[in-house]
Every structure is written in structure tokens, then in C-alpha cells.
Amino acid sequence: MPELPEVEVVRRGLEKWVVGASFGEVEVLHPRAVRRHAPGAADFAARVSGCGVTEARRRGKYLWLTLDSGEALLAHLGMSGQLLVQPRHAAAERHLRVRLPLTARQGHDPEAPQELRFVDQRTFGHLLVDRLVDDGTGTGLPSVISHIARDPLDPAFDEDAFAAALCRKRTELKRALLDQSLISGIGNIYADEALWMSQLHWATPTEALSRSQVATLLAAVREVMVAALAQGGTSFDSLYVNVNGESGYFARSLNAYGRNDQPCARCGTPIQRETFMNRSSYSCPRCQPRPRHARA
């Protein structure tokens, strides 16, 4: 599942190539791609066609294009969704779900028309049109994601409020990090990496954390995400790419995730894999010992 760095890489590509353009006649090729748009595919196409794009924004793992109609085109990439900017004459991808033709924007060649394409092999991702609500800072936010918390790279992220809410959770630390209503954008990969960097075990009870441990953890989360952004995100297969179809390379820099039985980069102890919420969690048993007071 793409996490904050991967979605931010896509957002930056949309900002570069799509903001300032307008959509032509939108074509929905697979209704499942707009299944969360309750009025249906025809309404989705009608509400996007002809609209200009004024902004490309993101909260956590969700991104959206602000339209000059006053609404937002919201995208969630799911497991395999891709937003690609392609020449309009380029051959259709095998799993192309929605075509959104683009008018030429300033600085682009009008003789080489482009289109935004939503490609999704597993069809777990989706697009929808939604109204914007005030997020508390005077900025528009799609109403359907108003419950999603700010992410740690958001300038308006409140570290003190997060620390207090985290300690009230009374749950395992990693479970709290994956709670998008508490802090958004963190998934399994970057949770493991941040926990390794801050030398905290995933099962640490949140109520046992000190304020300094929370500060260290947040610093680690930010450092890991900024490093991943610099390398274009993490790609383990061809399903995550940016808007130009290029994969990220942060997988080569991972210290914990997916490194079962490989030596810890800090102490040399083999990284261990444990089952967590029907998925895997990776940690160093020496640098990140399981706390004695961890929940069973």
C-alpha cells in the first residue's frame, strides 16, 4: 500500500504536469474505479469534464485535485493504483480504468496533447468528486476525509496534541502509528523503519512512553519519510510508480522492513520477523527489545 512518501511523489508530479490545465471529456472505462462516487460513473465524468485544476493537495495517503468548480477530485491509490500523465496517442495500459484528457497548459506543447490516466490492476483504488470543507486553517479539505488526521510533515501538525492523544490510546505503539485518525500517512513499512531508528519495539504500550520518546519517534518518522521522498518512495514491484511511470528506490535503504535474518545495520544482530495484525513486523531483538510490560 503506498504510504505518505509515495503519495507525495505523485502529488508533486500532478502539481508539475496537471495544475493549470483543464480536463476534456472524461471517460470511465471501469465502474469499480469510481465505486465510491455514489451518483455513479456518468455523474463523475460530467462533474470533472471541462473543469480546470487549481491545486494538487494531499493529506496522509489521500490526494486530490482542487477544481475551479469548487469541488475536489479525490484519489486513493489502494494497493496498485497509478496516476500517469501520458501522451494522448500512447497505447492504453492493460489496466487503464479512467481517462482524463488535459488541455495544453502554459509552457506545454499544444501539438502534443496529454491525458491523466488512472491505472489500477487490482482495482482497490478509487476516484471520486467531493465537496470541500474548511480544515480549520481556511484550506479546503474533501469532506469524506475530514476524519483523517494531519501527517507529521504537515506544517500544522500539533506535536503536543499528538503526544497526549498517543499516551491516552493505551494500545501497542505500532497499532497507534497505523491509526489514520491519530496520525496519517504512516503504513507498515515506514512504521517499522521509524521504530528501528528510534529503538522502540512495536509492542511498546503507548501509555508507557515518555514525552522525550515520543519526540524521538516523531523525529525518526520525519527523517525516514524525508529520505524516502528524496529517493522517490519505495517500490517492491512495478505497481508503485510516479506520474511518469518511474519507480522509487528507497527499498534499497531499508534498515528493518523485509530484512528478516539479515544483520542489523546498527549492532549486527539478525533482524526478526513477527506477526502483527495479519501482516509482518520487523525489528532488531537487541536494539528494540520487547518490553516486559508489553501486552500479550
- Give the model confidence (pLDDT) of 124-141 as tens digits: 999 999 999 998 888 899
Looking at the structure, tell me whether residues 140 and 173 fall in a common domain.
Answer: no
| Closest residue by Cα to residue 291 from 204, 191, 231 | 204
117 found inside a domain = yes
- Whether 111 has a pLDDT exceeding 80, the answer reads no
Q: What 3-state class would DSSP assign to 48? A: helix
Are 187 and 179 in contact by the 8 Å Cβ rule? The answer is no
H helix or E strand, kind and range, residue 192:
helix 188-198
- The C-alpha atoms of residue 288 and residue 296 are separated, in whole angstroms, by 17
**Range of the structural domain that residue 81 is part of:** 4-145
pLDDT score of 2:
75
**pLDDT tens digits, one per residue of 184-227:** 999 898 899 999 999 999 999 999 999 999 999 999 999 998 98
pLDDT score of 6:
84
Q: What CATH number corresponds to the domain at position 29?
A: 3.20.190.10
pLDDT score of 136:
83
- The C-alpha atoms of residue 291 and residue 139 are separated, in whole angstroms, by 42
Give 147's Cβ-side CA count (13 Å radius).
4
Count H helices and E strands in the chain, helices first: 6, 11
Which residue ranges are tagged as binding site for DNA?
Answer: 95, 122, 169
Mean pLDDT of all residues belonging to the chain: 89
21 found inside a domain = yes
| Closest residue by Cα to residue 52 from 75, 71, 33, 28 | 71
pLDDT score of 240:
45
Looking at the structure, tell me whether residues 44 and 128 fall in a common domain.
Answer: yes
72 found inside a domain = yes
What total number of domains does the chain contain?
2
- The C-alpha atoms of residue 112 and residue 108 are separated, in whole angstroms, by 8
Q: What 3-state class would DSSP assign to 127? A: strand
Q: What CATH number corresponds to the domain at position 266?
A: 1.10.8.50
Give 150's Cβ-side CA count (13 Å radius).
14
Supply the pTM of this predicted model: 0.87
- The C-alpha atoms of residue 276 and residue 291 are separated, in whole angstroms, by 16
pLDDT score of 248:
45
Are 132 and 165 in contact by the 8 Å Cβ rule? The answer is no
Which residue ranges are tagged as binding site?
Answer: 95, 122, 169
Which of 145, 170, 204 is the C-terminal boundary of a domain? 145
Pull the grid cell for residue 119. Answer: 491505472
165 found inside a domain = yes
How many of the other CB atoms lie within 10 Å of CB of 122?
11
Looking at the structure, tell me whether residues 101 and 141 fall in a common domain.
Answer: yes
- Whether 76 has a pLDDT exceeding 80, the answer reads yes
Looking at the structure, tell me whether residues 225 and 252 fall in a common domain.
Answer: yes
- Whether 70 has a pLDDT exceeding 50, the answer reads yes
**pLDDT tens digits, one per residue of 235-258:** 434 444 566 655 444 565 789 999
Query: Among all residues, which ones are annotated catalytic?
Result: 2-3, 61, 279
- The C-alpha atoms of residue 124 and residue 134 are separated, in whole angstroms, by 28
Q: What is the mean predicted confidence (pLDDT) over 25-44?
A: 98
Looking at the structure, tell me whether residues 36 and 126 fall in a common domain.
Answer: yes
